[in-house]
Amino acid sequence: MKIPLATSRVLTYLWSVALTAFMLFGAELTLAQDAPVTDEAAVALEAAQEEADAAPAEEAAAEAEEEPTLDSGDTAWMLTATVLVLFMTIPGLALFYGGMVRSKNILSTLMQCFAITGLMTVLWTVYGYSLAFDTTGMEAGVLNFKSFVGGFDRFMLSGLTIDSLSGTIPEALFITFQMTFAIITPALIVGAFAERMKFSALLVFMALWFTVCYAPMVHMVWSGDGALMWDWGVLDFAGGTVVHINAGIAGLVAALVIGKRQGYGQTIMAPHNLTLSMIGAAMLWVGWFGFNAGSAVAADTSAGMAMLVTQICTGTAALAWMFGEWISHGKPSLLGIISGAVAGLVAITPAAGTVGPAGALVIGILAGAICFIASTKVKRALGYDDSLDVFGVHAVGGIVGAILTGVFAFPSLGGVWEPTEGATIASQVWVQIKSVLFTIVYTGVLSYVLLKIVDVIIGLRVTPEQEEEGLDLALHDERGYNL
Amino acid sequence: MKLITAIIKPFKLDDVRQAVADIGVQGVTVTEVQGFGRQRGHTELYRGAEYRVDFLPKTKIELAVDDSIAEQVIEAITNVARTGKIGDGKIFVIDLEQAVRIRTGETGVEAV
């Protein structure tokens, strides 16, 4: 998670740390600051220390920085946030998608989400965390192979002990929190090829995609100094590029490679149970507070603001989609309003933690309106069968959010970000656009290659007979509804 | 004996059941059905995908009655199930050759 440079907060902490140290002559300290110490902070620290003019303070502060201690408040919140993010996939996303497919395919959709949850848990443990967060050989401003992907130094979570800390929380907790992100991202793609992909091919593709597209993206954006997009200075608080554009583009490519469902555009493929979809969308909304506010990796002011803007943007986008539909089709729909809510959640994901309430309102309106157009008009005009609009909601919403983050993060526009030195709205927007383009090309090309490989080895698609029968019976020997 | 088959709007079922019971009909068979008539179907719209639904849900009621009350039953159903709007349904009447109560073996009017 990228932690914004809340310089004033850092200063306050360092001041209090230095003063306390001075008064207590090096008594035990707790430094409730998890952010990597920045140059600015280091300068501020020096200033504070000069003023304090006390050797013990310097020693104590330095010691406290080297060994951050566990903060029980941060830990309690992150334990909760982790549970919330897992809840987003199972059952939230599973139900959201499950309600939108035809009744003969509901179990296959739920099954795919559930199986991905298990699969990603194993892969993240064995090598995913290492590929994503191993930072050996990385140096700020230096572009090398390690800027793109981590190594195997943390293979099988080696080095993890009961006392390992990541900032102010246990490393075991940080690993689990990040694991829930590694679970939901591939699960999002499921919506693009729903109702027609072979289950075995899905498992192989997801394992490959996680390895080649997801873990490196996490590394490039979040692993710290020396990582490609981190060094570019991209603002991606909770995963606009890493999670949503990544999954959305992979979804579009998958929908194109696998092809349309039989009878697409001719036969009725209406959602079979929008009640389930509404329940799922509501679970996503609730769980997303863990996703966004949890990405502060602390129970702090940043988490609080992330929570507020998440709620504002989601409500706004839900209404924007609803009104868009009302105006263009004459009636507002439940599927429309819940789709708008998800679009809002997606768009605020990169922006949470840096934009303010006004920015969230604008992002919400634009995300709701643009995703509505993308998922209805554009999709129909282009004719691709992205069954549940993974591209129209996640990629488009992610792109809208990622770019607008570069605008509304600035304090002059109500943002709560402390701009890095020399950053202007134009320069930051360019960084955001560059990161978006990189993500699109990176994941677009590699997803295509992986899909083709799996297609040759296993075959991506079920037989026409199986598709007609429904995947529940054809692939799993079960039926969703035995009425 | 007559076999009366009425296709009605689903929400009229209770009213019809009450009306025919008042006349003395001892039993009816009800089925949920779909079909089309002069009433046109409707369209459904899901994220811009428009589906035309041609078959509408209706309720089919079947009653076997003695000739003496057949006209009364038909009239009662017609009155109760009518809303005046298109799609109220239809009633079909055919002569019924035989009826048997399975439990007792009674036949004819005794059985209906």
Which residues on chain A are in Cβ contact (under 8 Å) with B51? 268-270
Token digits of residue A303: 């988490």
Tens digits of pLDDT across chain A (483 residues): 444 443 344 334 344 434 433 333 333 333 333 444 445 545 555 555 555 444 455 555 555 556 789 999 999 999 999 999 999 999 999 999 999 999 999 999 999 999 999 999 999 999 999 999 999 999 999 999 999 999 999 999 999 999 999 999 999 999 999 999 999 999 999 999 999 999 999 999 999 999 999 999 999 999 999 999 999 999 999 999 999 999 999 999 999 999 999 999 889 999 999 999 999 999 999 999 999 999 999 999 999 999 999 999 999 999 999 999 999 999 999 999 999 999 999 999 999 999 999 999 999 999 999 999 999 999 989 999 999 999 999 999 999 999 999 999 999 999 999 998 899 999 999 999 999 999 999 999 999 999 999 999 999 999 999 999 999 999 999 999 998
Percent of chain A with pLDDT over 90: 83
Nearest partner of A393 among A248, A222, A271, judged by Cα: A248
* A176-197 core/surface letters (b: 16 or more CB in 10 A; e: else): bbbbbbbbbbbbbbbbbbbbbb
Q: Tell me the CA distances in angstroms from A416 to A9, A162, A401, A419, one per residue in order.
A: 12, 35, 16, 9
| Residue among A270, A336, A339 whose CB faces B44 most closely | A270
Tokens for A58? 């310097």
pLDDT given for residue A65 in this prediction: 57
Q: Tokens for A455?
A: 């297609």
Instruction: Provide the residue type at A8 as one letter.
Output: S
Residues of B in contact with A377 (CB under 8 A): 48
Helix axis angle for B13-23 and B67-81, nearest 10°, is 150
Q: Nearest CA of chain B to the CA of A273: how many Å?
A: 12
User: How far apart (Å, rounded) are the C-alpha atoms in residues A373 and A367?
Assistant: 10
Do B45 and A268 make contact, defined as CB atoms within 8 angstroms? no
Chain B residues whose CB is inside 8 A of the A271 CB are: 46
Query: Contact, A360 vs A313, CB < 8 A?
Result: yes
A vs B: CB pairs below 8 A:
28
Residue A240 near residue A406 (C-beta atoms within 8 A): no
Q: What is the pTM of this model?
A: 0.83
- Compute the residue count for chain B: 112
Q: And the tokens for A416?
A: 């709560």
User: In whole angstroms, what is the distance from residue A228 CA to residue A308 CA?
Assistant: 30
Sequence-distant (6+) residues with CB within 8 A of A158 are none
The closest of A388, A481, A400 to A436, measured between CA atoms, is A400
Mean pLDDT of chain A: 89
Structure tokens at A148: 């793109």
Of A270, A271, A377, the CB nearest to B48: A377
Residue A300: which of A77, A110, A124 has the closest Cα? A77
pLDDT in tens, A321-356: 999 999 999 999 999 999 999 999 999 999 999 999
pLDDT digits (tens, 9 = 90+) for A400-417: 999 999 999 999 999 999
CA A158 vs CA A131, A210, A301: distances in Å: 13, 20, 33
Selected for mutation to probe chain B from A342, A376, A377 (highest B CB count within 10 Å) is: A376
Q: At what angle do helices A334-348 and A357-373 cross, to 10 degrees?
A: 130
Interface of A with B in 264-283 (CB under 8 A): 268-271
